[in-house]
A and B are shown apart, each in its own frame.
Chain A
Amino acid sequence: MAYLEVRGVAKSFGKRKLLDGLSLEVEQGECVVVFGPSGCGKTVLLRIIAGVLEPDQGEVWIGGKSVADVGPEARGVAMAFQNFALYPHMDAFENIASPLRARNRPEEEVKQRVHEIASLLRIDHVLDHLPKQLSNGQKQRTSLARSLVHGPSVLMLDDPLRNVDAKIRYEMRLELPRVFRKFHSTVLYVTQDYKEALALGDRIGVLMDGHFEQVDTPVAIYGNPNNRRVASLFGDPPINLFPIRPERGSDGAVHAQIGGQRVALGPRAAELAGRDCVLGVRPEDVAFGFEPGEGGIPVELAAVTPFNVRTVTLLKASDATEILASRPEDNSLAAARGHRKGWARIDLDRALFFDAASGARL
């Protein structure tokens, strides 16, 4: 049995059904990232687990026990709020010490543990400041320190990096896994940033339309998405989606028109002949070159965006289909800026096929 279980939770606000029979299992010591577009109910889910909101239906189990009748203070759950929710009339030290005070720890221990966590998060020099005197990054760390200080069994972080600047976000993204490991907490991490999700999650739960579309490892979510919507949520630049209708040719192989060019789809598409599909291709699986070759789609180089490590190119096929391709940064394309003709080749072994109507993976 998983340490934290959410069983068939439903929650409506007025007529709006935000969570609809949602279930999730998180093992002890595991970090699951809850990922989804804004307003999809991520925060509501955390609040239901925390016990500050009651579900209309369903139950939350923590450590093998239903916590339906347990108040938020007794669930052993800590949470860092997106808006920090620091106590404005207490200094940073007292903010962080609050969970220890609630447990009546001796003053010596409180001091020691607050200083320990504060130096880990590098806020030990501002412990005597009131929240209003802290920068956003310091507020965020104070809020995080408060949720970690007593070693909670379940730690929930509600988009903690949203309100901090890019530099701190980057630092914290590297630092947090270390912190999680140190405390061996079961972590639920909410974010809207797919990079954060991929960087921090042992598993990622993609929350859409009130339930998890897919809960899987970052590698699987990215490379093996259940459906088209999950595929398009992850990746920057986003996945290329081509509506296609594969046909069986006279030679028995399955072909489709992509960008005005007949492309052989390979054995994986054998079953798809005559069916409307969407072909999903990650930009890194599109090769662009100036030499024609087998399976090449004639394209025009429309734009080149260097992303430091990778270069993203926008290609236009003869029928105006736009194809995004990304490749390791090199200088050969920088010179090629401008409307140059070339060829795009799709790595069909790595392409994804979705049903045109439902978006489900085929």
Chain B
Amino acid sequence: MNKGLLRRAIRGVLLLVVVFFFLFPMFWVLLMSFQTNQDILRTPPSLTFTPTISNYVALISGEIQTSVGTLPVYYMKNLWNSAFLSACAVALSLALGVPAAYAFARFKFRLGEDIAFTLLSFRFAPPILVLLPLQLYFQDIGLYDTYLGLVWVYQLITLPLILWIVRGYFEDISPDIEHAYRLDGHSWFKSMWKIAIPLARPGIAAAGLLAFIFAWNSFIFALVLGSSDVQPVTVGSLAFMTASGIQYGTIAASLVLSVIPTLVLALYTQRYLVEGLSLGAVKG
């Protein structure tokens, strides 16, 4: 009895440590976003301060007040770019990756495994490896500093992810369910569309969400292949390292704002994630 209690107590303490370790930085960032740079840079740091929303106002209005004057920022534009680029990249990857994943899962064809593995291997190479030649190409063919170009290179991040996760989910669906649908008189395309994809929906949602987060967090592609017109928040936040010092409060506020879209998406997708995969139609 006492032993069980002790174990529960230890487990509780350990959980607290983990939660503190992971959540405290976020909490600190949230606090920082409501402080002025002076408050943040106080020594020793203090939990008491007069909250200000000046950081958020600066981001939304597009002007930062620094000690050397007013600087323009394009944060809202960057935020929009992030959302637009990530959404387009994931949408394209889903359109290409889900049918491809279905093919890899259901059909055995020549070089199938090799192609699938090659696609995955894009994730192994550091992006910087391909960036330099890509930048030269992109400038030549007019893709430099365009949404299209960035969505295209983002496929390196999102497509392999979606392909491999969704493929696993397709493989988990009993082929008999699709065979039965075919025998009912439906074409293979309909059996993919009406059976396989609805049943793999939790997997597709998970893969899409993960791909969206990866795309959202990507930094180096947009840094090299675009200007501030198309750059996402990850790159845009660099602007807060100004000549007159680093604007910690503004960075914190921009972090908080940039987390919101992925957080909302994750909360929305959650209900698909927990949806059971096989709903008990096939007896094991």
Contacts and interface: CB of A to CB of B under 8 A. Distances in A.
Nearest to A136: B283
Nearest to A102: B185
Contacts of B175: 52
Interface string B240-284: 000000000000000000000000000000000000001111111
A72 B199 contact: no
A71 B182 contact: yes
Nearest to A140: B283
B283 A50 contact: no
A129 to B, nearest CB: 11
Contacts of A47: 179
B179 A85 contact: yes
A88 B280 contact: yes
Interface in A72-92: 72-74, 77-79, 81, 83-89
Given A73-B187, A81-B176, A86 B182 contact: no
Nearest to A131: B281
Contact of B283 (A52, A73, A101, A139): A139
B184 interface: yes
Given A50-B183, A99-B184, A102-B185, A85 B177 contact: yes
B138 interface: no
A51 B187 CA distance: 13
A271 to B, nearest CB: 51
Contacts, number: 91
Report the contact-size class of chain B (Cβ under 8 Å from the partner).
Answer: 20 to 34
A107 B118 CA distance: 48
Interface string A148-189: 001000000000000100000000000000000000000000
Interface in A108-165: 130-132, 136, 139, 143, 146-147, 150, 163
A87 B183 contact: no
Contacts of A74: 185
B181 interface: yes
Contacts of B190: 102
Interface in B162-213: 174-177, 179-188, 190, 195, 198-199
Contact of B282 (A51, A78, A84, A102): A84
A321 B114 CA distance: 62
A150 B183 CA distance: 12
Interface residues of A, number: 34
A106 to B, nearest CB: 16
A83 B180 CA distance: 11
A103 interface: yes
A131 B174 contact: no
A47 B182 CA distance: 12
Contact of A50 (B179, B186, B188, B198): B179
Given A87-B195, A89-B198, A73 B280 contact: no
Contact of B180 (A71, A85, A89, A136): A85
A79 B195 contact: no
Contacts of B195: 87
A98 interface: yes
Interface in A28-52: 47, 50-52
A99 B279 contact: no
A102 B283 CA distance: 25
Given A130-B279, A132-B279, A77 B199 contact: no
Contacts of B185: 73-74, 99, 102-103, 150
A131 B174 CA distance: 15
Contact of B183 (A78, A89, A139, A163): A78
Interface in B109-148: none
A162 B186 CA distance: 27
A73 B183 contact: yes
Residue from A83, A88, A98 with most neighbouring chain B CB atoms (10 Å): A88
Nearest to A47: B179
Contacts of B282: 83-86, 88
Contacts of B184: 73, 78, 98-99, 101-102, 146
A341 to B, nearest CB: 51
A150 B179 CA distance: 17
Contacts of B181: 87, 98
B46 to A, nearest CB: 56
Residue from B179, B185, B186, B187 with most neighbouring chain A CB atoms (10 Å): B185
A85 B186 contact: no
A153 to B, nearest CB: 12
A147 B190 CA distance: 18
Nearest to B282: A83
Residue from B184, B186, B188 with most neighbouring chain A CB atoms (10 Å): B184
A74 B281 CA distance: 25
A71 B282 CA distance: 23
Nearest to A143: B180
B281 A132 contact: yes
A147 B180 CA distance: 9
A119 B185 CA distance: 23
A84 B183 contact: no
A88 B278 contact: yes
A131 B281 CA distance: 5
Given A85-B281, A131-B281, A72 B183 contact: yes
Given A73-B183, A99-B185, A102-B184, A85 B176 contact: yes
7 contacts: A77-B183, A81-B180, A83-B174, A88-B278, A131-B279, A132-B279, A163-B283
Given A79-B179, A86-B282, A132-B281, 7 more contacts: A71-B182, A74-B185, A78-B183, A83-B176, A85-B176, A85-B282, A143-B180
Interface of A: 47, 50-52, 71-74, 77-79, 81, 83-89, 98-99, 101-103, 130-132, 136, 139, 143, 146-147, 150, 163
The 8 lowest CB-CB distance pairs between A and B, nearest first, are: A102-B185, A88-B279, A132-B280, A88-B281, A86-B281, A85-B176, A85-B180, A131-B281
